[in-house]
Structure 1
Amino acid sequence: MLIVGNGRMITRDVSCPFLEDGAVVMDKNKIIEVGQTEDIRKAYKEAEYIDAKKGVIMPAFINTHEHIYSAMARGLSIDGYDPKGFLDILDGMWWTIDRNLSEEQILQSARATYIDSIKNGVTTVFDHHASFGSITDSLFIIEEAAKELGVRSCLCYEVSDRDGMDKAKEAVMENARFIQHTLKDDTDMIAGMMGMHASFTISDETMELAAANKPEEVGYHIHVAEGIEDLHHCLKHYGKRIIDRLMDCGVLGEKTLLGHCIYVNEHEMDLIRDTDTMVVHNPESNMGNACGCPPTMRMVQKGILAGLGTDGYTHDMTESYKVANLLHKHSLCDPNTAWAEVPQMLFENNAKIAGRYFKSPLGVLKKGAAADVIIADYDPLTPMNESNVNGHILFGMTGRNVVTTIGNGKVLMKDRRLLVADEAQAMAKCREEAEKLADTINNR
Structure 2
Amino acid sequence: MLLIGNGYLVSRDEKQPFLQDGCVAIEKDTIMAIGPTAHLKTQHPSATFIDAKKGLIMPGLINTHNHIYSAFARGASLGGPPPRNFLDILEHTWWKLDRHLTLEDTRYSAYWTYLDCIKNGVTTIFDHHASYGEITDSLFAISDVANELGLRTCLCYEVSDRDGQDKMKRAVKENEAFIKASQNHPMQKGLMGLHASFTLSDATLDYCRSHLPKGSGYHIHVAEGIEDVYDSLKKYGKRVLHRLFDQDILGPHTIAGHCIHITPDEMDLLKETDTVVVHNPESNMGNAVGAPPVLELFKRGILIGLGTDGYTNDLFESLKVANILQKHHTCNPAVAWEEIPTMLFEYNPKIVSRFFTKSVGVLKPGYAADVIVADYIPQTPLNTHTLNGHLLFGLNGRFVTTTIANGKVLMKDRQILIADEERLMAKSRQLAQALWNRV
The TM-score bracket by the shorter chain reads: over 0.9
Which structure 2 residues correspond to residues 247-258 of structure 1 after superposition, within 5 A?
247-258=245-256
Alpha-carbon distance in structure 1 between the residues aligned to 2:348 and 2:81 = 35
Distance in 1 separating the partners of 2:206 and 2:62: 31
1:289 counterpart = 2:276: no
* Aligned residue in 1 for 2:400: 402
- Report what 2:170 is aligned to: 170
Is 2:300 the counterpart of 1:302?
yes
Moved over 3 A (4+): none
C-alpha distance in structure 2 between counterparts of 1:296 and 1:211, whole Å: 29
Corresponding position: 1:419 with 2:417: yes
Tell me the residue number matched to 1:229.
227
- Alignment correspondent of 2:211: 213
Give 1:359 shift: 1.1
Alignment partner of 2:45: what SS? coil
Q: Deviations over 1:368-388 (max 9, x none)?
A: 000000000000000000111
**Residues in 1 aligned to 2:166 and 2:410: alpha-carbon distance in whole angstroms:** 40
In the TM superposition, residue 166 of structure 1 has moved relative to its aligned partner by 0.8
Amino acid at match of 1:425: R
Of residues 355, 369, 372, the one that matches 2:370 is 372
1: CA distance, partners of 2:351 / 2:216: 13
Name the SS of the counterpart of 2:262 in structure 1: coil
Please give the alpha-carbon distance, in whole angstroms, between the structure 1 residues aligned to 2:273 and 2:367.
28
Within the candidate set 318, 321, 329, 2:319 is matched to 321
Most deviating of 42-51 and 278-287: 42-51
Say if 1:254 and 1:278, in contact at 8 Å, map to a contact too: yes
Q: Distance in 1 between matches of 2:229 and 2:177?
A: 31
Indicate the residue corresponding to 1:71 in structure 2: 71
- The 5 A counterparts of 1:190-209 are 190-209=188-207
1:265 is aligned to: 263
Tell me the residue number matched to 1:13. Answer: 13
TM-score (norm 2): 0.99
> Structure 2: which 5+ residue stretches go unaligned?
none
**Aligned AA for 1:156?**
C
Q: Which amino acid aligns with 2:212?
A: K
Secondary structure of the 2:154 match is strand
Structure 1, residues 398-431: CA drift from partner, whole Å, max 9, x if none? 0000000000000000000000101111111111
Instruction: Give the SS at the match of 2:249.
Output: coil
Aligned partners of 2:97 and 2:9: how far apart in 1? 42
| Counterpart in the other structure of 2:62 | 62
Question: 1:184 is matched with which residue?
Answer: 184
Alignment-mate amino acid for residue 211 of structure 1: R
Structure 1 unaligned spans of 5+: none
Shift of 1:218: 1.2
Q: What are the residue-to-residue correspondences of 1:339-354 with 2, within 5 Å?
A: 339-354=337-352
Distance 1:273 1:317 in 2: 26
Alignment partner, residue 151 of structure 2:
151
CA apart distance, 1:81: 4.1
Q: Secondary structure at the match of 1:113?
A: helix
Q: Would the aligned equivalents of 1:321 and 1:394 in 2 still touch at CA under 8 Å?
A: yes
Give the secondary-structure state (helix, strand or coil) at the position aligned to 2:175: helix
Q: Provide the identity percentage.
A: 57
Q: Classify the secondary structure of the residue corresponding to 2:361.
A: coil
Q: CA RMSD in A?
A: 0.6
Output the CA distance in 2 between the equivalents of 1:245 and 1:331.
28
Question: Post-superposition shift, 1:274?
Answer: 1.0
Partner amino acid, structure 1, of 2:88? D
Give 1:216 shift.
2.8
**Separation in 2, partners of 1:207, 1:300:** 29
Give the Cα–Cα distance (whole angstroms) in 1 for the partners of residues 424 and 412 of structure 2.
18
The aligned amino acid for 1:309 is G
Partner Cα separation in structure 2 for residue 250 and residue 429 of structure 1? 43
Q: Does 1:333 align with 2:331?
A: yes
Contact (CA 8 Å) 1:81, 1:93: kept in 2 or not? no
Question: What corresponds to 1:83 in structure 2?
Answer: 83
SS for the counterpart of 1:49 is strand
Question: Which of 418, 430, 433 is the equivalent residue of 2:431?
Answer: 433
1:102 and 1:22 map into 2 onto residues whose CA distance is 46
Distance 2:214 2:316 in 1: 34
Distance 1:232 1:179 in 2: 32
Post-superposition CA distance 1:220-243 (Å, at most 9, x none): 000000000000000000000111
CA deviation vs aligned residue, 1:157-183 (integer Å, no higher than 9, x gap): 000000011111110110000000011
Cα distance, 1:184 vs. partner? 3.3
Count matched residues. Answer: 439
Secondary structure at the aligned position of 2:9 is classed as: strand
**Aligned counterpart, 1:110:** 110
> Whole-Å Cα distance in 1 between the matches of residues 143 and 154 of structure 2?
9
How far apart, CA to CA, are the structure 1 residues paired with 2:395 and 2:427? 30
Partner Cα separation in structure 2 for residue 215 and residue 71 of structure 1: 29
Quote the offset at 1:130 in angstroms.
Answer: 0.2
Provide the residue aligned with 1:161 in structure 2.
161
- Partner Cα distance (1:117, 1:431) in 2: 18
